[in-house]
Structure 1
């Protein structure tokens, strides 16, 4: 554990006085800058991809929902400020990031697939995101062109762990081509690698965290701030501090001044929102700013699509017939962490410790959001929850009833379908058999056509260590339970896809062969329409990472990946399961392709799904 310095937080009266002085100076500085954009500065956001090989055509199966969600509040503030104009008296929000205006309905209904317009030329909030899906020379050249054209005052990068090496590359390119750009990094990698302990007022950083990678020189000092925790309110707070210190034009913005403005805002304002940690890299030190404001529920946050077009197409949804790549699909979440405790999962409540969710009583609100997405051009919706509604069948049933009621009010009969993720034990909850049966029936009647289930392994000796078989009321063998769960879903008229994970505890060539064959039998019997083979990669904070002694994960070195690792999403030689040899990984790739045939995700689909 390493402790960094924390800033001094003045008392409320002192903070309000200093903040007022800063606001007045800020207005005078911008008033005296003729020819500059009126009290605003250019900004862009980027999603760091996880793959470097295209492997064929890359579809758009999933919108970058973590990034969209994190941007909701800062964009809402910016749009409101630009619409209202400059207040008569100096205000904390005088200067704001220039996100543009929300898309109109025509834009929302027609804009999908990759963005083609330069961010510098876009006047919509949707146009301010760089989302390459693949990080190759083509994407790098496009990114450089965007940075050069826009010269952003701030660049926001969202990154999962497997994308962190490319996030660092993006940050370095931004500093090269827009030297005074403030680079802010957040996303799941930050969440997984930063822990703040309130009792001791100390911050703990994983060896693979952005903070440690920069502090010990494994990467250049190309990141200014790292945000972990409740993304939307913390990012809004940090960008307000940037706005209080930003200079007109292309001059530098000092990180120490931003940290000072951040502490003034936190000390002077009541009702600070969000919980998490902001780390700022200041001259000679890194400064930790713990934020302990009120948590916001999903219902209190704007829809992630309020500022963005629905760009994804997902090949499992085809009822619209609008494209060979699948229906235009919006992605939603009712909760962003899993209530279960699988040893390998970075979405487990044991890792995230901070679920943002809709309450089980808010099913009507979620149904209304789905209705809004349909009005914005969605032909399908996929719920990316680790487990749909946390596996609460009362909430699932209520949502389906609300959705049918609201859809009945829509004019016309445009095709619409949806899908979600469940687990074997949630489907086979014997204690609530009637509720489950009614729920699956309601899901199908309300338009659900597809369920995704994590099978993980079909070897009993492997599944005994995973922590997934949680309902001990169902003592049957795992293989039998998987088959029964899939048959139950199929019996209610819904298709099933699955993920299979190789490299868990107990894995060897025999269990690999067993899983490949048993999944093949499920395919032969028509119980699976898709099977996705995956290789275990270690995530910071998971139980299996600790058990295997993998406390130094190389998620920063910018090395070229190679087969067979490139055939699996998020797989790099430095971070895959120590229980698998390279020969094992080649065997998994070839044997799954031979036994599962076209039901197996091909390379292009595997690359594309990594972007979800």
Structure 2
């Protein structure tokens, strides 16, 4: 199939009046058709969203350490539009929102307080927005049976799949099941895998598709054509626009639709928007042509978007937080972002600003908005919170301090509230900013006073020869050896009364058995000295678009074949034989698993806890 990149869609221009006229005529015709032959469901069509799992083996109980925030965030605008339409009813005059995806209504407080762990029952029987997400965590025979049961009962018109790269093989299988058991549905894939593999360059109006992208996998026949649309970039406005386009082409009875018709409707709807928002790319995989629709609208800040938890209950429990004492699995933990891309340029990281070039964030002047949102989560049942920012507030200590002050002020107004604690991620060099030592010290004190009980830091390696190649935030202001810097940073955080956990990454440039042994031993010493309460061993897996993937010549990553994984790879998050670091042998991976388990003891985190990063 040939690929055609369409003209970029931006803010509305005066010469688009013909689009206004055409849309008005189509809306009038659609209203007449639905008025003449209303369906049992009226003007709303059923939809289903799903988090694509990253693992195939249960290995014991699977708790809920992290809610699927990427999916939740992407659904906020289309759900908000749907709920507003549900409450407002049919407008007097034909409207773009006459026909709409039916997400149900927002959950009430009783529902939120009762929600915990996996969602019970069928989506078709749940009238809330929270109930319209399929979230299995593990992709095995039981999950497949449950997914098929959901499809058969609901017969969704749209199936929306959110996937990281490691889950892409399961996303394709879920898409195939959707097409089999709900044949009239449109399948949409988004999430980090789409962001990593679909890259539109506005400068020269070109498209870069990774070999492992959904589009290329289908185009060259490695997968059947079971996906209709891929959305990369700002998921919330992109998905909202696509759902409006899908609604525009509906006929009473909600039968099948041609992908080309939905694609044409998408361009028409975008052309008539007074305020087109978001930067995203929609790829439509029609029967005989692939169309690329770049949209470059007004940039949105996090404060403009609804809270990702507005439609959903807080179900996660994170064992690192225990102050609430509500469960042996840990406190009910909300996940939150102030910034969804890392400002630094680590060679291995798929969250780097180089991958997500237009991050959605709270501005450093919007700390009050973030504090208000966190208070709202407390009202919705959160007993703890974890900020999944790659670096909390981008490492800006003024913003960190302002947020803590704002949050403390709000907590002080409600002295009867239950205990609440939170955690965040920082880097070694952000903590050891010598030029702002006083600001750092004051910021850490404010974090503790505002309820921060835990900081997570990516140590990556304790071998100097490995860290020399990483490109981590190694500032020239801090030229000391990495091992001593790590020890000092952890000691600094601990001296301010905050616990520290870490991630360790094996397989970076310069890695060999000697550096593996060095890292395992040095991490062990940090544990012995009480500087770490948790250490998470990880294996480098190549992500499309990262610097290390290009440097290692891994431009053909198999994230599509449906192969059974096996030990020792299954002991590590997202690790598959075809995509792990070429510098590690299978024997090395066995050694890392066994040696870390022996040296670090129960400070090594469980498989359940390590799953949280992928879900967030």
TM-score, normalised with respect to structure 1: 0.98
8 Å CA contact retained: 1:275, 1:291: yes
Match of 2:174 in 1: 170
CA deviations over 1:34-59 (Å, ceiling 9, x no partner): 44211110001000011111111111
Contact 1:192–1:541 under 8 Å retained in 2: yes
Alignment-derived partner of residue 434 in structure 2: 430
Residue 212 of structure 2 aligns with which residue? 208
Q: Are positions 1:403 and 2:407 aligned together?
A: yes
Aligned length: 611
1:78-89 to 2 correspondence within 5 Å? Answer: 78-89=82-93
SS in 2 for 1:306: coil
| Counterpart position of 2:574 | 570
Mapped partners of 2:413, 2:108: distance in 1: 22
- How big is the shift at 1:27? 1.2
Q: 1:97 to 1:35 in 2, by over 3 A?
A: closer
Alignment partner, residue 4 of structure 2: 4
Give 1:31 shift. Answer: 1.7
CA offsets 1:138-163 (integer angstroms, 9 cap, x no match): 11111000000000000100011111
Aligned match of 2:495: 491
Aligned partners of 1:463 and 1:469 also within 8 Å? no
Residue in structure 1 matched with residue 125 of structure 2 by the alignment: 121
Alpha-carbon distance in structure 1 between the residues aligned to 2:477 and 2:108: 52
Structure 1 residues 268-287: aligned runs within 5 Å: 268-287=272-291
Q: Does the Cα contact within 8 Å between 2:65 and 2:608 map onto a contact in 1?
A: no
Corresponding residue to 1:132 among 132, 136, 140: 136
Match of 2:462 in 1: 458
Q: Deviations over 1:60-99 (max 9, x none)?
A: 0110000100011100101111111101111111000000
Instruction: Give the Cα separation in 2 of the matches to 1:31 and 1:582.
Output: 64
Unaligned runs of 5+ in 2: none
Structure-2 change in CA distance of 1:272 and 1:47 (3 Å):
same
Q: Distance in 2 between matches of 1:298 and 1:211?
A: 29
The answer to whether residue 116 in structure 2 is matched with residue 112 in structure 1 is yes
Secondary structure at the aligned position of 1:262 is classed as: helix
For 2:38 and 2:540, the matched residues in 1 are separated by 56
Q: Which residue is 2:544 aligned to?
A: 540
Tell me the CA shift for residue 298 of structure 1. 0.4
Report how far residue 117 of structure 1 moved: 2.1
* CA apart distance, 1:7: 7.2
Q: 1:143 aligns with which of 144, 147, 159?
A: 147
Name the residue aligned to 1:192: 196
Say which SS state the counterpart of residue 120 (structure 1) adopts. helix
Offset, 1:3: 4.9
Q: How does 1:198-347 map to 2 (within 5 A)?
A: 198-347=202-351
Counterparts of 1:609 and 1:288 in 2: how far apart (Å)? 31
2:41 partner SS = coil
Mapped contact 1:78–1:97 kept (Cα < 8 A): yes
Mapped partners of 1:569, 1:43: distance in 2? 30
Q: Distance in 1 between matches of 2:546 and 2:65?
A: 27
Deviation at 1:8, TM superposition (A): 10
* Deviations 1:204-241 (CA, angstroms, capped at 9, x unpaired): 10000011011111011000000001110111011000
Equivalent residue of 1:133, what SS? coil
Q: Is the contact made by 1:54 and 1:604 (CA closer than 8 Å) also made in structure 2?
A: no
Kept after mapping to 2: 8 A contact 1:298/1:356: yes
Any conservation in 2 of the 1:79–1:101 contact (CA below 8 Å)? yes
Cα distance in 2, alignment partners of residues 607 and 56 from structure 1: 13
Q: For 1:593 and 1:35, how far apart are their aligned partners in 2?
A: 59
Query: Do the aligned residues in 1 keep the contact of 2:69 with 2:615 (CA within 8 Å)?
Result: no
Distance in 1 between residues matched to 2:46 and 2:495, nearest whole Å: 53
User: Cα distance, 1:604 vs. partner?
Assistant: 3.6
Q: Which residue of 1 aligns with 2:443?
A: 439
1:596 aligns with 600
2:34 pairs with 1:30: yes
Match of 1:357 in 2: 361
Q: Identify which of 461, 473, 480 aligns with 1:476.
A: 480
Q: Distance in 1 between matches of 2:387 and 2:256?
A: 42
Taking structure 2 as the reference length, what is the TM-score of the superposition? 0.97
Q: 1:374-393 counterparts in 2 under 5 A?
A: 374-393=378-397
Q: State the Cα distance separating 1:468 from its structure 2 match.
A: 1.1
Question: Which runs of no fewer than 5 residues in structure 1 stay unpaired?
Answer: none
Is contact 1:567–1:606 with CA below 8 Å preserved after alignment?
A: no
Instruction: Provide the rounded CA distance (Å) in 2 between the counterparts of 1:379 and 1:326.
Output: 9
1:72 corresponds in structure 2 to 76
Q: Do 2:7 and 2:294's aligned partners in 1 also have CA atoms closer than 8 Å?
A: no
RMSD: 1.4
Give, in whole Å, the separation in 1 of the partners of 2:198 and 2:33: 37
> Helix, strand or coil for the counterpart of 1:499?
strand
Shift of 1:440: 0.4
Residues 475 and 129 from structure 1, CA distance in 2 versus in 1: closer, same or farther, beyond 3 angstroms?
A: same
- CA change 1:513–1:239 in 2 (3 A) is same
Contact 2:38–2:252 (Cα < 8 Å) also in 1: no
Q: 1:7 to 1:117 in 2, by over 3 A?
A: farther
SS of alignment partner, residue 303 of structure 1: coil
Is the contact between residue 125 and residue 307 of structure 1 (CA under 8 Å) also seen in structure 2? yes
Distance 2:3 2:179 in 1: 27
Distance 1:569 1:471 in 2: 29
CA contact (8 A) 1:115 1:127 kept: yes
Q: Which residue of the partner structure matches residue 524 of structure 2?
A: 520
1:15 pairs, out of 16, 19, 31, with 19
Whether the 8 Å CA contact 1:133–1:608 is kept in 2: the answer is no
**8 A Cα contact 1:7 1:263, kept in partner:** no
Taking the aligned partners of 1:609 and 1:324, their CA distance within structure 2 comes to: 21
- Does structure 1 conserve the Cα–Cα contact (< 8 Å) formed by 2:565 and 2:576? yes
Note the C-alpha offset of 1:203: 1.4
Offset from partner CA, 1:246-302 (integer Å, 9 cap, x none):
223241011111111111112222211111110011120111111111110000101
Q: Distance in 2 between matches of 1:431 and 1:34?
A: 68
**Residue deviations 1:337-363, cap 9 Å, x none?**
000010000001111111110011111
